[in-house]
Structure 1
């Protein structure tokens, strides 16, 4: 019951920062509890990045944002081997994928070879470079955003990449009342600064909550 209350408080805190996108808040928490990855699609300015950063603020873990661009290389995501002249050996330099929470921002603005750099990490929680394989942290979640495919300069995600996501959430513009509340929130943040997160979950709390979710009884017909 304590964890249920904690996650309820987390949902309330996120709803205060992500106004008018209740579905997105619920899907974020569902993906976290189900140990899955989330793909969020919507036009620019709909708080996609804000939502993911807000969740990161409430978790005790490493957070990194990868801005996907047409000139991005796979090694910019996974890391690469660097030659050290002083030792005469190659040393692996970890890329931004080696964090607990990874925001793949505008993932469909990079070509397929860069998108495929995420396949092994998202599917098997490891990264293979050359002859070596590097495991990722147990708490690992990719939250990707993409602009609508009809926008200029976007590449459609291949089926193999889409399969790595637990959910594909499409969001639309909030209501007029929600937009007014967003304006007030932005004004207060500008004047007073963003309020520090009141609820911060540890990795152990997340793992314990996942175990409790997996213990929920499900009847055979379902």
Structure 2
């Protein structure tokens, strides 16, 4: 197994830089803070939102649920298994770009475009090897992990925070993409075309936050148009 990476900070500017460094046209897409879950604050996020990254604390309850839930089968979704410790930020970013319209804004031949073009023909295990062996991913992750506003923990530190991504599938389902599960998870159906952020906010509030009301380490970051 590959050595663990230093965790990424939940920082939209760093996430935007990650994408730009690997080939996303930054004049078209960027990441934005979600400052709260009520409708007025959600409406402040540049729309349309293409994907949402969610940071939450791991608990015995979330770990038990992860072992029990069954993944959905959808050939249109690209899912990456996480085998590198603390790489959940990069895995979440891969899921966000790979399964949204932002993918069309990747520069041809860029590291991210090359990886995502190759990934559909690979098994989940083969995809993990491609990620582990990608110098571009490793270097970009390491560079941005060192640029956060807070002091980054050591790579071998046991971090109890985890990133997942939420996207809207072609059939209108709210999909949670978590590299530590066995595949994509359907969280809701019949999500309106422009309703991803609202559906995600409702789900994380009722599913994650309600179960851990004393925790303060929740964070939502949205992928949307550059402003």
TM-score range, shorter chain: under 0.3
- Higher strand proportion: 1
Larger Rg: 1
Please give the TM-score of this superposition, normalised by the length of structure 2.
0.24
- Specify which structure has the bigger relative contact order, considering alpha-carbon pairs within 8 angstroms and separated by 6 or more residues: 2
